[in-house]
Every structure is written in C-alpha cells, then in structure tokens.
Amino acid sequence: MEALVPILVISIVFVVLFVRQVNQYERGVMMTFGKYSGIKDPGWRIVVPIFQQMKKIDIRLKAVDVPEQEAITKDNISCQINAVIYYQVQDAGKAFLKVENFWYAISQLAQTTMRNIVGETDLDELLSNRNEISQRIKEEIDRASDPWGIDVAAVELKDILLNDEMKRVMAKQAEAEREKRAVIIKAEGEVVAANNLTKAAKMLSDADGALHLRTLQSINDLSSDQSNTTIWMVPIETLRAIESVGKAFASK
C-alpha cells in the first residue's frame, strides 16, 4: 500500500502539470516551441510545460453591444446610433494568430463600419429601412473579419436618436403630410359625391314623376322630426308658371 503512494503523488503531479481540459464550447490552440502546431478538440489534452502552450478560445455565439456613436447622415443630419452585433469564432487558429484581441477588434470594426454606412445614407432611408442598413453593416463587418476566422451572424440597429430641434421639424413635416392627405381625400370625396349627384339629377329628370316622388319622400322624412321648424313645399311647376308669367309681363 505504501508503494502506491509515490505513484499516486506522481500521477497527481503529472495531471496538474501536463493535462489541460478543453470544454465542449472551446477549442485549444496549441503552440510548440513558439510555433502553431494545431487545434485541440474538447477533452483532456497533454501539454508539456515550457515546450508547449495552449490557448483556449471560446467558440460560442457572442452578443456585443456596440457603444452609441455620433454619425452624420448623407443629408448632413447629426444623429446618435447604437447597435448589437452577433458573431462566432469559426477558426480558432486564425482568431488567435491573426489578431491580438478579436473581440475588441470586432467592436472597433463595428463602430467604424456603422458610422461609414450611416454617412452614405439619407435620414429618411435610415429610419425607414433599418433592416437593409443592418444587413449592409453586417456584410461589411463579415467581409473584413473573414481573415480573422470570425463569422458575423447578424447586426441589429437598436436606437437612432435625434436632437430635439430635428424631432420638432420631423413632427411638423409629419403633420403637414397628414393635412395634405386629408385635403386630397376630402377633394376626392367631393368629386365622387358630385358625380353621384349628377347621375341622380339626370335620372330624376329623365323619369316622369320621379322628382315628385322624391319630394314626397323628403316631406315624409322631415315629418318624423319633432322640431318646431315648419317647411313649406312649393312644386317646381308652380315656380315655372310664375317664371313664365313674369317673362310675359316683361315682354310687354
């Protein structure tokens, strides 16, 4: 039993000094004599101290909040914009060897790319086409980060903030646009009503007795009103007869 104690101690020392664990969500970048010697998959891996070094890289999808940036649109309007970027390490070797700090590099790249894309876009397009702008930013970042072994899954614009003066100007513009639509709709309604009245008048004039029936219907509708208003109805024929008599006296 005592003979097993040294073996047990040596085994523990060996495990502590030589064995490194790579978790399922990680990949180990192995360096031997200072040179890249391969990627280690999840599990227990032997790393010889002094001669070898292993750096573990997390390959899970990461969400990075891009700090709020002040940008100027193509039509010279200042705005504050922030976003969130989702990316994942696809090649742990490139992420470790090609860039010193890939998460910091991605954050800085996202900030500059976001300002550049916003600078090429009008404010109206930026506000109405968020998804398209986000896709353009994503493609630019993805293209630039490919040499680092990083895949950008998505970029989402969170907030686009304007100063108070610009908000008031946009509110006035929106109010004027609503008034414009209201006037157009009202005018179109009057045109439709005029056309319908013209058709109705033509139908009444073409049909014998139609105007008299319409007059009686109007009287019936008015009679149901309990107000004190009194309405005297004069047939149109009477008015025409009076008009004829007036013309006859005028000719004499």
Is residue 71 located within the same domain as residue 152?
yes
Given the DSSP bridges, would you call strands 19-22 and 43-46 parallel, antiparallel or unpaired? antiparallel
Mean pLDDT of 113-137: 87
Whether 69 and 140 share a structural domain: yes
Q: Distances from the Cα of 69 to the Cαs of 82, 102, 125, 250, in angstroms?
A: 6, 20, 18, 86
Dist CA 66 CA 121 (whole Å): 19
Cα–Cα distance, 143 to 65 (Å, whole number): 20
Q: Which of 162, 194, 218 is the last residue of a domain?
A: 162
* Segments forming the whole domain that contains residue 50: 4-58
Same domain as 78, residue 34: no
pLDDT at residue 196 tops 90: no
Measured CA to CA in angstroms, residue 104 lies from 90, 101, 145 at distances of 17, 6, 12
Mark whether 108 and 148 lie in a shared domain: yes
Per-residue pLDDT of 3-52, as tens digits, reads 666 666 666 666 667 788 889 999 999 999 889 888 998 988 888 888 88
**What is the number of domains present in the chain?**
2
Give this prediction's pTM: 0.63
Residue 147 lies in a domain: yes
Same domain assignment for residues 102 and 146: yes
Contact 162, 75 (CB under 8 A): no
3-class secondary-structure state, position 71: strand
Which of residues 127, 162, 197 is at a domain's end? 162
Last residue of a domain, one of 162, 180, 214: 162
Spatial CA neighbour of 86 closest among 159, 120, 137: 137
Is 71 part of any domain? yes
105 and 153 belong to one structural domain: yes
Is 250 inside any structural domain? no
pLDDT at 159: 82
Q: Residue 90 sits in a domain of what CATH number?
A: 3.30.479.30
3-class SS at 203? helix
In terms of domains, do 34 and 79 share one?
A: no
Of 75, 66, 83, whose CA–CA distance to 166 is shortest?
Answer: 75
Residue with tokens 């008009």: 243
CA–CA distances in Å: residue 162 to residues 107, 118, 126, 170: 23, 13, 12, 10
- 136-182 pLDDT tens trace: 999 999 999 999 999 999 998 888 888 777 667 677 777 778 888 88
